[in-house]
Chain A
C-alpha cells in the first residue's frame, strides 16, 4: 500500500521488518478518553502495538475528557482497561514503558481553554518525548460532537495541513444519518480539514478476512475467472448478532439496522466483494473502484422498495437458553417503536460483471448466532450425468467468514463411499487461526497504524460515504413514510422475519443457515 502525501524516501533500515513503513514519532490524542471505546478498543490496541514494537519509541498518548484526572489515575484506568479487554495483557516492563507515554488533560470541549492547555501539553510532549509535532486526534465522541470539536481544534491552530509535521483526525461511523446530513458533515469537515487529513474509520475494514478479500480475489488465478454473472448464481452477505441493544436503546432508536450496519459495514463488504480489480493497490485506486461499484448498484424507486427491502423488529424469545425481552421492552425504547432491528435487501448491480446476479444482504440483532460472512453461491451444473434417484447435487458455495473464526470455506460435492453413485456436500475449510503461526492483529491495531503512517486505503472517503447513503436514502424514506404494522415480527433467537424470504420471489433460492 502506498502512503499518501509521504515524499520522504523509504527508510532503508525498515526494509524487511514486520512493517516496511513504520510510524514516525507522534502524539496520539484521544478525545473521549473516559469513554467505552477508549477502554475497550483504543487503549488495548495501542498497547498491543507498543508491545509488538509497531509504535515509535518517541510516542505519547494524551487522553482528553471532561473531568479532572491525574496522569497516574489515567494510567491506572488504562491498565485496568488493557487487562480486561486487551489481546496483549499488560506485563511489567513493557507496560511500565507504555505507561510513561500516557498523560491526561481534563476539560470541556466547548471551552477554548481546554484547547489552549492541550496545545501546551502537546508542545511539552514534543520536547520531552520527541513527538516531533506530529498529531493524530482520535475523536472517540458522539458524532454530534465531531463538527464543533474539529472547529475548536482549527480555531486553536492545532490542525494545520502539512506533510511534516502532520495532523490527522480519526472519526468513527456513523457519518451522518442520511445523504443530506452526511453531505453536511463532509462540508463541515472540509471547512477545517483537507480530505487527506480525515480518516473515517469503519473497523470492519481492519479485519484480516476483509483485507484478505483483495488477496483472495486478485492473487489467485482460480477464483477471479469465475467471479461474474456467468458462474455466480447469487451472493449473500450476513451480519448477524445474538445480542440486543445492550442498554443503548436510546441510541438505537435514532439508528436502526439500516443505518447502524447496512449503510457502512455491509456496503463496505459489498463493494469489496464486487468491485473491479484496481490497477494498483493504492489508496485512491482502491477507493475509486469501490465508489464506482457503489454507484453501479441500482437505486430503488419508492415503488421498488417494498420488493427489495424487508425490515423486522425482534420480539421476546430465547438466546442460548435464556429468555430475553423484545426490543420494545428494552430500556430507552418506545413501546410502539417503528425502528428496525433487522434489515434485508436484494440489490442488483448494473454492470457487465454482475448484471442479473442478486446480492442479498441481511443484518439483525437477536439472531441465533454471531456471524459475519459473505457467501458466493455458484450456479448449479447444467447437467448431472448420474442416475436421478442416487444423485442430487448441491450448488458449490464459497464462504468468506469475517467473524468469528476468520477464514474461507468451500462447499462442493463428493461421492459417498460405496457401490452407488450418491453425492454429498463436503466442506474444505481454511482458518486463519490454524494456518498461520500468529494471531492476526485486531482491526483497530491495523487501522491505527495505517492512520499514523498516512495510508487511508482502509478508511472511507467522503464520496464513498455519500455513495452508500445514496442507496439507503430511498429505503429510509419509504420506511419512514409507512409505519410497520406487524412489529415485532420475529422472535429473538430466530433468523428474522418470515417476510425476508419474499426477497427471493419465485427463484429457487433461500437464506443460508450460517
Chain B
C-alpha cells in the first residue's frame, strides 16, 4: 500500500457548510483536468468511517492510518476529536487522491470534526447528516471505548464497530463490553481476534492431512503461551483466551471446570462430545520481546502423548517454528514466515467487505465464560 496521496484541504468550515465546501473542493479538483493533461478524477466512497479519537495523539495516528487506508478502502472518513474551550464544532475537510491503473486518480474524503464544550456530548447528531447514503457506517474506536463519548445513538448508527480488546485495561471489561454490543445485535470486529488469524491457520494446517486428522479426536492437552509484562501476570491475555475458546468451540467442547490458577498458569478442562477430556492451559510468560498480549507459542498433545504439535514464534526473526512429532510426520522443525501484524493491515482486514463473523460471536462468548471462570 503506497502512502503517497495528493491532498486538497479547507480549514475551519462550519458544520452546516461542510457539504458545500466539499462540493467546492471536488469542483476545483476536477475542473479543467483533461485540458491540462492531468489524470481523470474519480470519487470513490465505499463506506462512512467514523473515528472517535480520545487524544490529539490518537487523532494524529488515526488520521495517518485512515489516509493510508484510503487507497484500499476509499471512504468518507469522519474523525471526531474533542478539545477544551468554548462550545463550538468546527471542521477541517480534505480530499485525498491516489493514482490508480489507467491513468486515473481515485479520491476520497476526510472530515475532521473538532468539538468543544458540551458539543462533545452530541456526536451522533453532528455526524448523522454527514453520512454518504447507501454505503455502510463503520465506527472505529482506536482507544479503550470506556474513555470515549460512545453513546447509544452513535452505536445505533454503526453497521460495524471496530475495536481492539487489547486497548482495554482489563480483559474482563473488554469481553463484557463486546458481548453486550453483540447481544444488542451490533456487528463487532475485534482487532485482537484478527491478530490470531495466522495462529489459527497454522494450527488448522496440522490437521489438514488424512494422517493427522484423527489426532483431533484424541487431543488431550493444549497449552497456549502468551506474553505479559511480568511472569505469571494475567495481564493482556485476551488473545490467549480467544485462542482457547476458538479451539474448544471447534472441537465441540463443553467446559468441565473453571479456571484453576497456580504459578502463572490458568488450567481449564473441557469435555468433548466423544466424552474425552482436553486439558487446556494458559501460560503467562514474561515479555522479553514483542508486545504484551502477543501469543508466544501453542502446543497440542494427542494420542497418549505419541503425537505432539507445536508452534513457537521467534519474534526477532518474524518466523514461527512448526514442529510435528508424530508417526509419518517430518521430524525436522519447519519455519514459516510470521510477521508482526501491522495496525494498517489489521484495520484493512477489519474494514473488508466480509459479513459478520458468527464464529467470532461464539468465540467471544466462550472467552468471556473462561475469563469469568465459569
Please report A residues at the B interface, Cβ cutoff 8 Å.
8-9, 11-18, 22-25, 50-51, 53, 56-58, 91-98, 100, 126-132, 134, 164, 404-405, 429, 433-438
B46→A438 contact, CB < 8 A: no
* Closest CB in chain B relative to A14 CB, distance in Å: 5
> Given the interface contacts A436-B352, A437-B351, does A13 sit within 8 Å of B204 by beta carbon?
yes
* Closest CB in chain B relative to A56 CB, distance in Å: 5
B330→A100 contact, CB < 8 A: no
Q: List the count of A-B residue pairs having beta carbons below 8 Å apart.
A: 138
Interface residues in B308-330 by Cβ distance below 8 A to A read 317-319, 322, 324, 328-330
* Closest CB in chain A relative to B12 CB, distance in Å: 30
Among A13, A92, A96, A433, residue most surrounded by chain B Cβ atoms (within 10 Å): A13
Please report B residues at the A interface, Cβ cutoff 8 Å.
42, 44, 46, 72-74, 100-102, 106, 197-198, 200-205, 207-211, 213, 216, 247, 250-252, 317-319, 322, 324, 328-332, 334-339, 348-349, 351-353, 357, 359
A92→B324 contact, CB < 8 A: no
B204→A17 contact, CB < 8 A: yes
* Closest CB in chain B relative to A331 CB, distance in Å: 31
> Given the interface contacts A17-B201, A22-B204, does A433 sit within 8 Å of B100 by beta carbon?
yes
* Closest CB in chain A relative to B349 CB, distance in Å: 7
For the complex of A and B, list the 8 residue pairs with the smallest distance between their C-beta atoms, beginning with the closest. Answer: A94-B337, A130-B330, A93-B318, A13-B204, A437-B352, A16-B359, A97-B335, A24-B209
Residues of B within 8 A of A98 (CB): 337
B204→A129 contact, CB < 8 A: no
Residues of B within 8 A of A13 (CB): 200, 203-204, 207, 216, 247, 250
> Given the interface contacts A15-B359, A17-B201, A436-B352, does A96 sit within 8 Å of B213 by beta carbon?
no
Residues of A within 8 A of B44 (CB): 434
* Closest CB in chain A relative to B345 CB, distance in Å: 10
Among B42, B201, B319, residue most surrounded by chain A Cβ atoms (within 10 Å): B201
A97→B319 contact, CB < 8 A: yes
Among A57, A58, A96, A130, residue most surrounded by chain B Cβ atoms (within 10 Å): A57
| The residue from A22, A100, A433, A437 contacting B101, defined by CB atoms under 8 A apart | A433
How many angstroms from the CA of A95 to the CA of B336 in the assembled complex? 9
B250→A437 contact, CB < 8 A: no
* Closest CB in chain B relative to A379 CB, distance in Å: 29
B330→A128 contact, CB < 8 A: yes
Name B104's closest neighbour in chain A (CB-CB). Answer: A405
B334→A129 contact, CB < 8 A: yes
| The residue from B102, B197, B208, B336 contacting A24, defined by CB atoms under 8 A apart | B208
> Given the interface contacts A22-B205, A58-B330, A434-B106, does A96 sit within 8 Å of B352 by beta carbon?
no
How many angstroms from the CA of A405 to the CA of B216 in the assembled complex? 44
How many angstroms from the CA of A57 to the CA of B321 in the assembled complex? 10
